Amino acid sequence: MLTWFLNTFPQTIPGLLDETLKQLVTKEPYIDTSYRVYDLERVNDITALSSEIAYPLDGNVYLDTVDSLLAVIKSNAQNGRHHTAPLALRFVAPSQALLSMFYNRRTCMVEFPLPVGTQHLEGMLDAYEMDAQRFQGRPHWGQWHRMPLTPGWAAGAYPRLDDWIRAYRQCNFNGVFDSPFTDHMGFRSAPTPGTPLVSTDRARVEELAALAEAVLPHPLVIPKEEIGQRAVLLIQRMHAPLASQLEQAVDFVQWGLPLLVPAFPPFSTLSLAQRQLAVSRCFHHKGLLRDLARAIKLLTAFPYYTDERVRATLGYVEFEHRPRATGLDLTPLTYPTPGSDSHAES
């Protein structure tokens, strides 16, 4: 009903928006928990499509941005495309996350939520995003966007994209984070030639299999030996200081963790009940063993829950099987491995 009214009588939109915003004005500052401050009551139930773009705060770029956006909205209205909702601005401190919209700069986020059914909805959001390119805008990864899908855009918007892709490919050796979107962005990498798909370190596999059996809920969906195999490959393909720290953690589990029972090491030869007791005491320790507990969880939960068979038992539906994947352009882009010869030449 709302969208029908706004589409049929667009001349009423400015007055309605003004009256709506006046209702938000308070005589005194309103301070409360966030979910109460941002509770818009009936507005929360409106189905909407939204785009949000991050603009630099320094140099008052965001003020020029808002002026430009208002000009685009006015131009759209003159051509029969009417914006049906208020803009929303919020201010965010810099982030060190390499692919954050707020990376390395103070940011003003400008959001454009439009009720589904608004005429020319997608065209208007596209126009706002095109305008954003003039002001170093970075679209929100989780909302409506097309700009990041443009070849070369991400490398220009995120100065350390190479570092992020390198970490992504090192940690994503089993493809659990791959999707049609990451394919289109060119983030997926093929296995490095000569990299074994099965570890030859049988002793280490058995040690990690015994650890997984003691940590994970039973019954296991996949064999413990396979979990150990995946954990070993995780360490082997992680070209970072964390890999050696994880190796040290496994050694400590083997020769130090049994002392918490107490029992004689190695850990992998203990009964299942003894191993579970040792792990439980490690997890509940509030001292130096906390870092070891984190390493144990990484070496067991990650190899286990990243297997698609395990995910399926939890109700997870792979993206390509979801309704929203229907009709999407899933054509992969290419982005060479950072530091490779092909990357250097480009």
The predicted structure's pLDDT at residue 199: 55
The pLDDT score that the predictor gives to residue 194 is 44
Q: Which residues of the chain have pLDDT under 70?
A: 2, 173-174, 189-200, 330, 332-346
pLDDT value, residue 257 = 95
Could you give the C-alpha distances from 56 to 90, 91, 131, 274, in angstroms and in order? 12, 10, 14, 56
| Main-chain phi, psi angles of 54, to 5 degrees | -95, 125
pLDDT of the residue at 174: 67
pTM above 0.85, yes or no: no
The pLDDT value recorded for residue 193 is 45
What domains appear along the chain, each with residue ranges and CATH number? Answer: 2-156 (3.30.70.2520), 160-194+319-345 (no CATH), 202-313 (no CATH)
Rounded to whole angstroms, the maximal C-alpha distance in the chain is 81
Q: How many CA atoms lie within 13 A of 31 on its CB side?
A: 2
* C-beta separation of 233 from 205 below 8 A: no
pLDDT value at position 332? Answer: 65
Rg (CA), the chain: 26
Determine the pLDDT at residue 346. 41
Dihedral over Cα of 215, 218, 224, 228: its sign: negative
Show contacts of 110-113: CB within 8 Å, 24+ apart.
Answer: 110/52, 110/53, 110/55, 110/62, 110/65, 110/66, 110/69, 111/50, 111/51, 111/52, 111/87, 111/143, 112/50, 112/51, 112/52, 112/83, 112/85, 112/87, 113/48, 113/49, 113/50, 113/85, 113/88
